[in-house]
Every structure is written in C-alpha cells, then in structure tokens.
A = this chain, B = another copy of it.
Amino acid sequence: MARTEEQNEKIRDATRTSIKNAALDKFSMKGLYATRIQDIAESAGIAQGLLYHYYPSKEAIYVDLIDDGLEKIIEASLCLRDMDGTAKEKIDFALKSILQTIQISSNFAQNSRFITQAVNSTAIPPEVQKVLDEKRDIPYQIIAEILAAGQEEGSVVDGDPRTLSTLFWANINGLSAYFTTWKNPGELPDYRLISSMFFRRE
C-alpha cells in the first residue's frame, strides 16, 4: 500500500499553508488582479498546476484569505469585549497593542492592507463581497458596544456609539495604511492622543 491518509493529510496541510502564506503576501501587495497565479506558485515553491489541486481558481484563494482576515479581527475584538476592565482600559489596551503590532510585526498591517484593498474595489468576486457584507461590520459593532458601556460608566463622551466606533477604526485603518505604504514612515502617534477623543477629561 501507499502512504496512510494521515500522512497525506499532513503533506496537504503543509502545501495548503504555504499556498495561503504566499497568496496573502502577493495579494496584500498587488491586489487580486495584478497577482499572477505564477507569482503565488513560485513564492510557495510549487508548480502552477498543483495550485489547482488545492483551489479551483485564484478567486477561491482570495475568498478563503478574506474570510481568515476578517475572522482574525473579529476574534480579537471579541476577546477585547470579554476581557475584564473599564471601557477606558479596553480601548487604551486595544490602541496600545495595535499601534505596537503595526510597528513590530507585519501581521496586522498586512491583513489590514489586504482587507482595505478588497473593500476599495467593486471588482472583487461576488463571493468575496458576500463575506465582507456578513463580517466586516462586526468589529465596528463590538467597539460600539464597548463605547456604549463606557457612556454608562460616564467615562466616554456623548454621541452615537456607532459613530464613535467608526472614528476608532478610521484611526486604526488610516494609521495602518500610512505605515505600510510608506518607505520610512517615521513614528506613530502616542495612543493617548487617539484615546483622548473618546473620553471625558478628569
């Protein structure tokens, strides 16, 4: 007999992972339509043909990655919501960690860049649009919840919590975009500056 199913699965998992990593690298830098299937295959260290044993098309890889990307942000948001502490502690923690992550690792910024590109194009495949429609709003809702709780506590400024949440994410996305798309981006602002928008003065 040949390899066991378990062994084949391990091989396929490894190959699938390198395809996904390679594809995220390329898509996040060049977008769906400027990325060549050959780019991805080469970067993953496999032949073009093999890619089609894992995904039926270039678009299918994209859909998969968009879903992953949104899930990551949702997961992090939920984790923030469910942690102990006041609204101020949560927002400050979020800002501090995100700004730090942007500078230290490329993960957050890469993911953010990838999603930004998808969101900015109406040419994305309908399946991608569907995932975006279902999931993109969730992190906005979660931050709005946290801010609403802060208004109850009396710490957060007045105003529609959802609008404040929009402002929160606009800052994150704006800074992240700035940071990834610039040669030498300089420093990021202190998190307290951003935080000060959302909270009353003592």
Residues of A within 8 A of B (CB): 29-35, 113, 116-117, 119-123, 157, 159-160, 162-164, 166-167, 169-175, 177-178, 181, 185-190, 193-194, 196-197, 201
Contact call A169/B163, Cβ cutoff below 8 A: no
Nearest-neighbor residue (CB-CB) of A193 within chain B: B197
Contact call A34/B181, Cβ cutoff below 8 A: no
The number of times this chain is found in the oligomer is 2
Whether A121 contacts B174 in the complex (CB less than 8 A), given A163-B186, A197-B194, comes out as: no
- Which residues of B lie under 8 Å from residue A188 when comparing CB positions? 163, 166
- Which residues of B lie under 8 Å from residue A113 when comparing CB positions? 120
Give 10 closest A-B pairs by Cβ, nearest first: A170-B174, A174-B174, A34-B123, A33-B33, A30-B123, A167-B189, A170-B175, A33-B34, A119-B181, A29-B122
Assembly CA distance A116 to B171 (angstroms)? 15
